[in-house]
Structure 1
Amino acid sequence: MTTPSLPPLRAERVDAMESAVFARIADERAARRRRRRNIWTGVGAAAAVVVVAAVVGPALTTSTGTSGSSVSTVGEAGSAVDPGIGTEAGTRDMSAPLVPQGAAGGSADSSTSFAASGSDSSAADGTRDIVATGSSTVEVEDVPAAITQISDAATSAGGYVESSQVGGGYGVVPLDATASQPAVSSGWITVRVPAEALTSVMDGLSAVGDVTATSVNRSDVTEQTVDLRARVAAGEASVARLTELMAQAGSVSDLIAAESALSERQAQLDSDRAILTSIESQVAMSSLSVQLNVRSQTVAADPAGFGDGLVAGWNGLIATLNGVVIGLGFLLPWIAVAGIVVLIVWGVRRIVRKRRGSREA
């Protein structure tokens, strides 16, 4: 059975077929490129949306939160009783009879005017509330005596000793003066002095010992004190108004609502007063911490000369020879035993060789 043969193709037909194949391959590559371009375009658009949302979202949240906080602050400063206090089953609002419109506006105006007047007065006077803290390191001969001198200087300047400690490397210092006391190597003391006397007290440390390090840190708390004073004034006005409203309460529910609001405002007022008192105390009385160390003794160095070097070399030679002699004395018994063993082995081998020679002969 013969296999049928295909008719021969012309060159033009072969070229046309190759062109069609190559065109199809080019179309498929172009389609793949378009799909990839579309995918990357979509990914880029999604990433751009995420970036824009990340940039714009916090700004919108911040602006919204700021406006809400400002409104809530005005409402808290301007009203003596919260609007929700005294509402029974959502049908009756007790804030209307308890807080008149004029009273609420008056308290807000008083607190705002107080804050403005406080800031304006501080700016006009040019005085700032500064918290100053100093620290120094001093080398002294006697640590307990130095602590006494520093405490006396602080007391004479109008201050007091806040804390102090005398420490050494040998445990607790005994209280019995007759007993032998261990050497004290270090100690520290913290004093509170008026702010205007801090510089003079620190300058006086040079009379106590050698000042090796010193630093002063100052922090401006004017804005914080002005804000606290305004909050205290607003709290006092709110407490006074609530006290009046309690006397004018016409029902038990009004009285309970006023007492609840009064307790909250009184607690906040006490907290603000305590913080303000603490800051004012830090402004008026500066803190000074002094680290005391025993002055190190100066050691006089005596450089060695030629004679000292010669003596040291001779001593080293003697020591080396002495070591060699000791080593020989230690090895001598072992050398003797080893020599005896070698002689025995040599003698035995010599006898064996002689016997072999006689047998062969």
Structure 2
Amino acid sequence: MTTPTLPALSAERVDAIESAVFGRIADERRAMRRRRRNVWTGIGAAAAVVVIAAVVGPSLTSTQSTGGSTVVGASGAESAPDFSGQFDQNSVGAVPEQDAAGSSSLPEQSATRDIGSRDIVATGSSTVEVDDVRAAIDEVTAAATAAGGYVESTQLGGGMVGIPIEGSATTATASSGWITVRVPADTLTQVMDGLRDVGDVTATSVNRSDVTDQTVDLRARVAAGEASVARLTELMGQAASVADLITAESALAERQAQLDSDRQVLQSIESQVALSTLSVQLTERTAPVTADPAGFGDGLVAGWNGLVATLNGVVIGVGFLLPWIVIAGVAWAIVWGVRRVVRRRRAAREG
């Protein structure tokens, strides 16, 4: 039996066969790399989903437990009174009444002040720990009244109580409160020292501001304004014509308005000098907490609860991300299908 012989191959045919073999090997290598890349991409995506679920899940759980609303603590809703010693000269505030002659009915202390004395606005603030906030407010109110002052405002818990009324009885309780009183300037230190009888004073401060320049300037302006008003009033009685009378009335009205404004500002400053402001923050005294060291069983229970909470968060996170994963998977499948069709067409044209 004779063995068939293969026809001789030309060099061009050999090169073509080698190119086809090497091309197929290269295609297989590219396909293998593509499969590996897809596997690692899937693993990375799964790991990213787990990580995101672990991060997003607890926040979603806490949001659901609070009904999707932001919870603000009581301390964030309360604002402390302003303890600054500054004042607004344009503020007319609560000032003493004037008599018919326009003089001030301020306390005798400011009216009999020596020329060489300084006008000082003093404001104090204290923080006191007490057993009963309501009873402490009553004690501070009594001390201010005994010193010749009055209560400007009070705050119990998160609501403004206002100036207390004698004979009124309330049963409201709170763990914190504020009270602001006005007392004569020379009794401010005495009243602040008396706070030690109310509770434990944990912080205290006094701010003094010198307003002598403002009061001297305002007194000079008031004196000049009074003289100008008196002169214009005299000129109105001597007016020889209607035009002169109208001019004098217009000037008098302007000077009188400026005089009233200066008097009101001066009285407001003198009121702040004569009556100092004291703001007291009252906090309920907390009982000391005794340490209770946890044992192995408590640690095991805590670890189990933490594991359950983490798994719950991961499940919630996966549920949250699942719609996005589906959409991303559909988009990736479309892109992969288009690329495969393009590769097949390209391979067909090359073949």
More helix by share: 1
Please, what TM-score do these two structures have when normalized by structure 2? 0.49
Please, what TM-score do these two structures have when normalized by structure 1? 0.47
Higher relative contact order (CA 8 A, sep 6+): 2
